[in-house]
Chains A and B, each alone.
Chain A
Amino acid sequence: MHIDKDLVAASATPLVLGILAEGQSYGYAIAKRVADLSGGRMSWTDGMLYPLLHRLERHGLVEASWGRSESGRRRKHYALTPAGHEALAERRRQWDVVAETLGEVWRTLSDGAAGAAAPRPAAGPATAGGTA
């Protein structure tokens, strides 16, 4: 399924922080976890994950350490820092508001479509407002 790239970019940080909140992990595992969680409907351009991880590291939200994979390859592991936990909680509050608001909109739309006195035929959800 194609998801608009702005939406992917906006959700990437909370997704990565959320996955790392489950425990330390590394790039490929994070990408796979996103695919699993979304039932395969959401997948990133794999390469783009790394600049994002490095940006989070630079801002002190995650901490990285080099280790080895089972087959002996160098592998960089990432773990959430306290600042990362804070940022995640903050993002979560923001996304909750967005999700609740959208939920309300979807609900009124379906109510309106079901109701007999709908002022207009169900309008498509194509016009997106600005996101914070």
Chain B
Amino acid sequence: MSGTDALEVQVDRWRDYVRRHRAVAPDDVDEMTDHLRERIDDLRAAGLDDDEAFLVAVKRMGRLDAVSAEFARAHSERLWKQLVLLPDSPAPDADPARRELAVVVGCAVGAGLAVKAGSTFLDETALLLNLGLLVAPFVAAYLGWKRRLAGRTVAALLAGAVVLGVVLNTYPFDPAGSTLLLAALHAPVVLWAFVGVAYTGGRWRSPDRRMDFVRFTGELAVYYVLLALGGGVLVGLTAGLFSLTGLDLEPAMEQWILPLCVPGAFLVAAWLVEAKQEVVENIAPVLTRVFTPLTTLMLLACLVVLATAGDLTTVDRELLILMDGVLLLVLALVLYSVSARDPLRRPGLFDGLQLGLVVVALTVDAVALTAMLTRIAEFGASPNKVAALGLNLLLAVHLARSAWLLLGLLRHRRAFGDLERWQTAYLPVYAAWAAFVVVAFGPSFVFA
């Protein structure tokens, strides 16, 4: 039966070839191989010989590039990479890579010089307000260049940045007031939304592209921390060696190294995420696995403490801000495990754990808010409290609906896609809220 053996070899070779497409998971290869074999059997039964049957069956399977691209569209979490985002490049050669590096270095130096200029020419409060505006355009420029943004999108982003810049710099903020600090805190969120538009190549309405941007953001944070650690070690060693010779590195550090390197590292991190995604692709989701049970335990402890503490009427708004932090952390845990979860997997233990985490977090939040209710009423509407309460409300809505969808998933009432869509659909709300805080809080609170 050497004919059949030859056929087996051909089928195996086809399998290997399919497996090389990263959007096609091993299970899918099995599924498609089963199909191929069935087709071959039918064709042989119709009188074709092995070779003919194999060729016709493979031909009917379609162009694997197209099939793989379709798989990538159906499973964007498998590769949120070049295949999905960029049109197929005709031939991979070294030239674009070198050009990209040049653009990255250019943008990194630009961001560094912008921050350096800012720290030289602006006073402290102006620098605080404008820090994001000095860095974000360079990140957006790199991503926009890479995604070949349409002129209309570039114009819209520029207009947005200009409006933000005008608002931040012409509002007569009281230097000691809290609206200034709130604007400085919320402006980067708005700017990050602009970066997101550039990242998605203008297709920010697409839920898949939005989820890609969430993944990008998580990996960027991981890379940035790693770069900062490495940079810290390097600077520390250099300073140690210099001090032996009586040279003090500190002035140079404050004057040049920090203003140039801290923003520059941001661009480098963005480039690394773009270029080397596969290496730490799953770090952020892995962290969620570790911290989901731990956070649940921590929150349970908090719940007990809060419930037995009795009188919480003396605590100040700090509790409110801490609660925002807790909900943000829980949201990040949910978001990043959703971003990496295989949508076809059966709901399991981890989904249950996650539901537990969200429910406990919301309970803690409810207990804290109820305990503070009278205080919140007494506070009156100071900008800080309104901002903290508003964010708390937004986060609670986001998490409550996530919990509901998780419950539906666990009870097989809902598909994972619903949970995933809810996460990405809700994200622009935060950008809108941040923009609202920046633009409206100053005038509403007489810039206090």
Q: A residues within 8 Å of B by Cβ?
A: 26-28, 31-32, 43, 45-52, 54-55, 57-61, 64, 66, 69, 73-76, 83
Contacts and interface: CB of A to CB of B under 8 A. Distances in A.
Given A32-B42, A73-B33, A83-B415, 14 more contacts: A27-B34, A45-B63, A45-B67, A46-B60, A46-B61, A47-B66, A48-B66, A51-B67, A51-B71, A54-B71, A54-B74, A58-B344, A69-B38, A74-B30
**Is the contact region of chain B dominated by helix, strand, or loop, or is it mixed?**
helix
Nearest to B36: A46
Nearest to B414: A60
A40 B82 CA distance: 38
25 contacts: A27-B32, A27-B34, A28-B38, A28-B39, A45-B66, A46-B35, A47-B32, A47-B61, A47-B66, A48-B62, A49-B35, A50-B71, A51-B74, A54-B28, A58-B415, A58-B417, A59-B417, A60-B415, A61-B415, A73-B30, A73-B37, A74-B31, A75-B34, A76-B27, A76-B34
A43 B74 CA distance: 21
Contacts of A32: 42
A109 B31 CA distance: 46
Nearest to B344: A57
A58 B104 CA distance: 37
Contact of A45 (B27, B31, B61, B416): B61
B375 interface: no
Contacts of B75: 54
Q: Is the interface of A mostly helix, strand, loop or mixed?
A: helix
Interface of B: 27-28, 30-35, 37-39, 42, 60-64, 66-67, 70-71, 73-75, 343-344, 414-418
A54 B344 contact: yes
A51 B70 contact: yes
A83 B417 CA distance: 13
Contact of B32 (A50, A57, A69): A50
B27 A58 contact: no
A47 B34 contact: no
A67 to B, nearest CB: 11
Contacts of B73: 51
Contacts of B418: 60
B31 A50 contact: yes
Contacts of A48: 62, 66-67, 70
B424 to A, nearest CB: 14
Contact of B34 (A49, A54, A73): A73
